[in-house]
Chain A
Amino acid sequence: MKNWWKILTVLLLVFSVVAGLLSEVPRLAILNETIRNLYFHVPMWFGMILILLVSVVYSIKYLRDPSIKNDIIAYESAKVGILFGVLGIVTGMEWARFTWGEYWSNDPKQNGAAIGLLIYFAYLVLRSSFAEQQQRARISAVYNIFAFAALIPLLFILPRLTDSLHPGNGGNPGFNAYDLDSRLRLVFYPAVLGWTLLGIWIVNIKSRLEILRQRLYEIA
């Protein structure tokens, strides 16, 4: 059964929805029930980082071994990572509206995420500006490595150096500081794994389709 991980994806996502909505969560002022967004909004970012990491790995693989397959997987996973990032920023804005008061509070992490996404949008633009396949693959692989290297400080280092509304940054405690955190984790980690696997599944399908298209060009 080589598709066991796809079944695992379905199980984890179903579990995270059911347990995410029904399980007991810490009762906190302002957050109220929106603390459950931890199971839905945050996995988007964890998923994005992990899928973009896949993209970087395949970009590096491409530079070491320039095969079309490596390039396709790097590109497709970057696109799915960007999709997760956009969903993360939109869900974050929806959550922020009702807990921080505004969709956009110029929170350092919000700004960092926005800049990071712009850097990745530029990756898509850059890619589409080459007609020649090898040139496109090589230059976008190099850019992809730099984009990932820029994203990490934007999301995980710079927000920590200043005050941020996000937990775990500036003077705010992370979710770890709350009681019942082990119960939160019990749903949170399966949710992260489930959404990440879903992203990888989409990458898997899209890459196979793209590889098929390449084969078709070769045959024709």
Chain B
Amino acid sequence: MKLLRILSLWFLLLGTWLGAGATVQAQPAQSEGTTIIAEPEVEMADVLRRDGKIYVVVVVILTLLGGVLIYLISLDRKVSKLERQVKDEVVNR
């Protein structure tokens, strides 16, 4: 399953990039917007809301790109299948 391999690779990469983004973001622990209740060190899924929510845009664009690429991959496989069928057809004649 070539598609599965490519897909899993893609998601793996997406995961690592998001993970890398999280660690990079965690480093500058600046107290932004200190009006928030000073609950120290409670882990929340903050990554996607930091830096003016730019990560949300990154996720959206990656989703779009992923959708288009998966569509292209499926087209590619369909054409490959058709090529095999035509080849068999010619041989069996």
Q: Which residues of A contact B (CB under 8 A)?
A: 3, 6-7, 9-11, 13-14, 17-18, 21-22, 198, 201-202, 204-205, 208-209, 212, 215-216, 219
Contact = CB atoms under 8 A, between A and B. Distances in A.
A212 B21 contact: no
Interface in B73-93: 73, 75-76, 79, 82-83, 86, 89-90, 93
A18 B62 contact: yes
A18 B17 contact: yes
B14 interface: yes
B79 A208 contact: yes
Contact of B58 (A3, A13, A17, A198): A17
A14 B79 contact: no
11 contacts: A13-B65, A14-B13, A14-B62, A18-B58, A22-B54, A201-B72, A205-B72, A205-B76, A205-B79, A212-B79, A219-B86
Majority secondary structure, A binding face: helix
Contacts of A9: 69
B17 A219 contact: no
Contacts of B61: 17, 21
Interface residues of B, number: 27
B6 interface: yes
B2 interface: yes
A6 B76 contact: yes
Contacts of B9: 7, 10
B34 to A, nearest CB: 25
B26 interface: no
Contacts of A22: 21, 54-55, 58
B86 A215 contact: yes
A10 B69 contact: yes
Contacts of B21: 18, 22
Contacts of B76: 6, 201, 204-205
A219 B82 CA distance: 14
